[in-house]
Amino acid sequence: MKYYFFIACLLFSLFSFGQEATSNSTKVWSLEECITYALEHNITIKDAALNTSIAKVDYSKSKSSRLPNLFGSASQNYSSGTSIDPITSDYVSDQINSTNIGINSSMTLFQGNQLNNQIKQNKLFLDQRIYLEEVEKNNIQLNILETYLQALYSKESVTIAENNLKASEQEVIRAKTRLDAGTIALNDYTDAQSQAATNKYNVIAAKNDYQQYIIALKQLLELTPSDELEIETINENIELVNLELNQVEIYNKALKTLPEINASNLNIAANEKELEIAKGGFLPSLYLSGSLGSGYTSINDNTFADQFDVNFNQKLGLSLTIPIFNKNQTKAAVQTAKINIEKAEIQKQSTQKEVYQKIETAYQNTLSAQEQLVAADASKVAAEQSYKLALKKYELGDLSTTDLVINQNTFTNAQQNYLQAKYLNILYHQLLQFYQGNDIKL
């Protein structure tokens, strides 16, 4: 019996430990932890990093284009009849076995300065890709900020909905007691039941909204479906923040810090370099080439080794190509490059315009959200007092169920309005901080 008792205690301990480990496995994520994790694991950021790696390879390849190439060659031939000896170049009428080996090299000495300009352009492309990678990181941070705050809003909405459900269930109990006592009509009791059912539906909807935002947040973090995610609540005391800078000052600061602006500037510079590359097509090109080689032919009486020694040859040469007419290909390339420069400048203006619109919107929404927060707070306090007073009157029989339901719904709407103003105030304030180059944090 003692043995079985010991086994039972051991199994119970293991089960309890497993339950405790499971309950403690759910990590509570702060906004800062979500952002840090996403920057390391989000696949959009990883894809942008791979594009940067490709740009590094292109830049390295363009620098290597100034180096000479080197090729080795070897051939074995057989000919019969009248032919040219591949070694002596004499006409012979015989069967010939011949062997040739060689090493060839060439390099570009000058090509309208196109090689140097291509290297500089690829360096600009690399720098641009680095900035574009930062753009993707910023976009992920902003998406996480918005999704995180939406999840917090939904989480608090669940609490409000659950509290309303509890209150309405108590109202149903009171209404049933009063109905049985004959102090209220049946429709008052059914109104209470209807309100409880509605509040239960609101709880289910609020929980579903919360789970949807948690799923969206998990996808941004690249968590697996089996991973649990719980977000950290924030301080209830939300203080209004004085805006030290106006929207124009924030915009001017953003122009110096946002990577998309720097990427637009580099895009213009890269297209200007493309114009220089195209103009290089009008200039002559100079190439240096050289080779080492030797061979063997069967019609020569010398041995294989002697022939390779005697037939050893070296060549060194320069070649110059001068463009005279290439069907206006170079002229068209120059015109295209000029057009692309204008397009890049327009794209920069469009980017600046988009940034200003975002800042202007965030700034005005911040002012509006702060005013709404003050008004919503006052409305919530007043609605709460009114609901408590209505509840006391209902308990004393001086208020109908319908009027109580109206007061409860008014209080619920006031709570939701306060929550919305609260999180909008946080969101737009964080956006303005972001555009000023500050970190996103709660």
pLDDT at 236: 61
CA gap 21, 15 in Å, rounded: 10
The residues, any chain, with a CB within 8 Å of residue 368's CB and separated by 6 or more, are: none
Total number of residues shown for the chain: 442
Cα of 189 vs its chain's centroid, Å: 54
The pLDDT score that the predictor gives to residue 238 is 62
CATH 3.40.50.720 is held by the domain 27-65+112-283+323-435: no
Q: Structural domain boundaries of the chain?
A: 27-65+112-283+323-435, 73-111+286-322
pLDDT of residue 199: 94
- DSSP per-residue codes, 367-420: HHHHHHHHHHHHHHHHHHHHHHHHHHHHHHT-S-HHHHHHHHHHHHHHHHHHHH
pLDDT of residue 239: 64
Q: What is the pLDDT of residue 400?
A: 87
Q: Hey, what CATH class is 73-111+286-322 in? A: mainly beta
176 burial via Cβ count (<10 Å: 0-12, 13-18, 19+): middle
Q: What is the predicted pLDDT for the residue at 380?
A: 94
| 342 Cβ contact list (under 8 Å, min separation 6) | none
What integer pLDDT is reported at residue 240 of this predicted model? 65
Q: What is the pLDDT along the chain (442 residues), one digit of tens a residue?
A: 444 444 444 444 444 444 443 444 578 999 999 999 999 999 999 999 999 999 999 999 999 999 999 999 998 888 887 777 777 777 777 788 888 899 999 999 999 999 999 999 999 999 999 999 999 999 999 999 999 999 999 999 999 999 999 999 998 998 898 888 888 889 889 999 999 999 999 999 999 999 999 999 999 999 998 899 999 988 666 666 667 789 999 999 999 999 999 999 999 999 999 999 999 999 999 999 999 999 888 877 778 888 888 888 999 999 999 999 999 999 999 999 999 999 999 999 999 999 999 999 999 999 999 999 999 999 999 999 999 999 899 888 888 888 989 999 999 999 999 999 999 999 999 999 999 999 888 7
Tokens of 423: 């999180």
